[in-house]
Structure 1
Amino acid sequence: MSRIWVLGAGQLGQMLKHAGMPLNLDVQAIDIESQETLPLQAHEQVTAEREQWPDTVATRQLASHGAFVNLQTFPRLADRFSQKSIIDQLDLATAPWQLVDSNTSAEGLHEKLGERVLLKQRTGGYDGRGQHWLREPGRDAVPDGWHEMCIAEQAIDFDEEMSVVGMRTREGECFFYPLTLNLHVDGILLGSVAPLPRLGHLQEKAEQMLAKLMNHLDYVGVMAMECFRLGDTLLVNELAPRVHNSGHWTQAGANISQFEAHLRAVASLPLVQPTVKNTSVMVNLVGVDYQTTWLSVPGAEVYWYGKDVRPGRKVGHINFCLTSGGETKRALDQLQPLLPAMYGEVLDWLRSQLD
C-alpha cells in the first residue's frame, strides 16, 4: 500500500483519506499543530489540503520533503498579490485591481477603481473574512495596518458566481468537471449545482483558462478556479490549489470524485475524464447542529465533519444526485423543514436552477 501524507487534517484532509481507501492508498492527514516527528519515507508523496500552515515539527518535516507536490505553488497562490499578478501575466480576465501600498489612499482607490472597492488581505481570509468595503468616496479610509497587506478590487456587478474544478497529471494531461453554479451568502458558499445545460457554452472557455494556469504552474492534482460571469465573459475571482468546497458535489455526481482525482494525480495513478451521472446539488451545512433526520430524506448523502459547531463554521454538507430535477426538488422540499429558516433562500435558489 502506497502512502500519501496530507498537510492538514480538516474536512478536506479527512475526505482525501476516505477517497484513498478504494485506491489502496494509505492517506495520512496530519494536524498542522502537531509537534510529532513523522515516520516519513523518501519515496512517499506529500500533498496539502490548505495553502498556508504554521511552523511546527510536523509541518516543517512535511514541507521540507523532496516529494511535496506543488510545494512552490502554495505561497504563490496563497498571496493574493502574487496570485493576481500571475493571472495578469497570463492575460486572463479578472476584476481591475491594485496593490494597496504605503502611499495608497482611499481617495486614490475610488478614483481608479470606482465607487465600490473591496479590500482583501493578501493572505488568510476566507468565507468573507479578511475583507473590507470602501463604499463612501470622500469619507472612507484604508484601515490601520492594511497598507502593504491587502489588494484592492473593483466591485463587479456580476450575473452569477461559478467555478470549474480541473485536474492535471505529472505529464501535463488535463481533465475537467462541468462548470458549477454557486450561491454565496455573506461570503460563505451555501449551495452548488452542476452541471447545468445552459452553462455548457462556457465550458470550453473555462477549461482553457484553468488549463493555462495549471500548465504555467506545472501543477499536479486538483485545482479550482472561481469566476464571475458577466454575460458570456468569465472573470477569474480566486484560485484554490487543492480540492475545493464547490467540488463536493462530485462525491455523488461523478464516477471519480475530486478527492479521488487529486490522489490519482499525486500518486501517478491512471487519470481519465470523469463521467458525470446526473445534475447534482450540494447544500453546505454552516453553523447547524447534526440531525439524524437528514438521513430520512430520499437521495440525501450526508457528510458530517465532526467539528464543534460555531456560527459561520462549515460543519458538513449534503449531496443529492437523483434521476430528475423533479425528484431532487421533492427531496429539497423534504429537507427544508429539517434546516434552519435561513436555508429557505438557499433551497429556493437550488430549486429555481432545476426548473
Structure 2
Amino acid sequence: MPKVWVLGAGQLGAMLQQAAYPLALKVVPLEPEQETLPDIASEDIVTVEREQWPDTPLTQHLAKQPGFINADIFGRIADRLYQKTMLDELGINTAPWQQVTADSSAEALHNVLGEDVLLKRRTGGYDGKGQFWLYQDQGDEIPSDWLDAAIAEKKIPFKEELSLVAARDANGQKVFYPLTLNLHSNGILMASISPLERVKHLQGQAETMLSTIMDATNYIGVMAMECFRVGDELIVNELAPRVHNSGHWTQAGACVSQFEMHLRAVSDLPIKSPEVRGHSVMINVIGVERDIHWLSIPSTQCYWYGKDVRPGRKLGHININHPQRHAVQTALSKLKPYLPENYLAVFDWVQDELAKS
C-alpha cells in the first residue's frame, strides 16, 4: 500500500485513517513532538490535519520530503495577515481589516473600522480563542502583547454563517460539497446542516470564491472556506487548508466523505462529484461525557475521539442522515434528552432550520 503520512495525530488524522482503507492506502498520523523520525520513501505522500505546527526534529524532517503536498501554502494561510492580504489581492470579499502594528492604537482602529473592532491573533486562536474585542464606548485599549501580533477586523452584522468544502487535484479539477449552515457558540462549532434548499442560490458565488483561492495557491486536497452571509453576499471569515469540522456530515451524507476526497486528491486518485444522500445534521460533542444511548438512536453515526473530557473540548460528533427530513427531526428529538441542558438551544436551532428548508 502507498503510505500517506499525516502531520498531526488528532481526530482528523484518525478519520483520515478510517477513510484510507477502501482506497488501499495506508495513513500514518505523526505527533509533531515524537522523537523517532519515520523512514519516508520518495514515493510516499505527506499531508496535514493542521495548518500550523511547532518547529521540531520531526516537522523539519517532513519539510524536506518531496512528497509534502502544499508545503509552501500552510504557513501563508495559517497567518491571518497573509491570508487577508491574499484575499484582498484576489478581489474576494472579506471583512475590512487592518494590521495591528507596534504603533497601532484603539482610537486609530475605531476611526477606520468602526465602534466594535475584533482583534485576532495572526496565528492560532481557533474555536473562539485568540480573539479580543475593542469596544469604543468602553474605552478598551489594545493589550501590549497584541501589538505586532494580530489583525483587527470590522464587526460584520451577518445574518448567518455558512461554509463550503471543496477538493482540487493536481490537474486543477475541482469538486464541491453543498453549502453548509453552521451554528457557533463562543466561537466553537456546535452544529451543521447540509444541504439546505434556501441557500442553494448562493452555491455558485461560494464556488467561484473558493475556486479562485485554490487555483491561485495551486492547492491540492480538501480546503474549507467559512463565510458570513450579509444579505445575499458572502464574506470570507476564515480558510482552512485541510479537512474541516463543518464537513464531518459528509461521512454519512455524501457518496465520498471529505476525508476520502482529500486522500484521493493528494494521492492522485480520481476525485468525483460527491452525490449527496438526503438530509444531514452534525452535532458536535463539546465537553460532555460519552453516553452510550447515542448509539441506539436511528439514523445516527457516532464518533468518539477518545480524549480526556474537559470543558470546551471537542470530544466527538454525531452525524444524523436520512432521505426523509422528518426522520432526521425524529432522531434529533430522541437524541435531545441525552445531551446537557446547554444543548437545548442547539437542538431548537437545528429543528427550526430544518422546518424552513
Query: Counterpart in 2 of 1:3?
Result: 3
Query: Counterpart in 1 of 2:331?
Result: 331
| Offset at residue 138 of structure 1 (A) | 6.6
Query: Counterpart in 1 of 2:348?
Result: 348
SS state of the match for residue 269, structure 1? coil
Is the contact made by 1:110 and 1:137 (CA closer than 8 Å) also made in structure 2?
no
SS state of the match for residue 9, structure 2? coil
TM-score normalised by length of structure 2: 0.98
Query: Counterpart in 2 of 1:131?
Result: 131
| Offset at residue 67 of structure 1 (A) | 1.1
| Offset at residue 166 of structure 1 (A) | 0.6
- Amino acid across the alignment from 1:337: P
| Offset at residue 57 of structure 1 (A) | 2.4
Q: 1:68-87 alignment to 2 at 5 Å?
A: 68-87=68-87
Query: Counterpart in 2 of 1:121?
Result: 121
> Is residue 199 of structure 1 aligned with residue 199 of structure 2?
yes
TM-score normalised by length of structure 1: 0.99
Q: 1:1-355 alignment to 2 at 5 Å?
A: 1-137=1-137, 139-355=139-355
Structure 2: gaps spanning 5 or more residues: none
Partner Cα separation in structure 2 for residue 16 and residue 269 of structure 1: 15
SS state of the match for residue 124, structure 2? coil
Is the contact made by 1:107 and 1:137 (CA closer than 8 Å) also made in structure 2?
no
SS state of the match for residue 321, structure 1? strand
Is the contact made by 2:279 and 2:328 (CA closer than 8 Å) also made in structure 1?
no
Q: Deviations over 1:4-23 (max 9, x none)?
A: 00000000011001100110
| Offset at residue 120 of structure 1 (A) | 0.1
Structure 1: gaps spanning 5 or more residues: none
Partner Cα separation in structure 2 for residue 277 and residue 98 of structure 1: 42
Partner Cα separation in structure 1 for residue 248 and residue 311 of structure 2: 21
CA RMSD in angstroms comes to 0.8
| Offset at residue 206 of structure 1 (A) | 0.3
Q: How many residues align?
A: 355
Partner Cα separation in structure 2 for residue 245 and residue 168 of structure 1: 18
Is the contact made by 1:106 and 1:137 (CA closer than 8 Å) also made in structure 2?
no
Is the contact made by 2:297 and 2:331 (CA closer than 8 Å) also made in structure 1?
yes
Partner Cα separation in structure 2 for residue 152 and residue 226 of structure 1: 18
Q: Deviations over 1:8-41 (max 9, x none)?
A: 0000011001100110000001112111110211
- Superposed structure 1 runs of 4+ greater than 3 Å apart: none
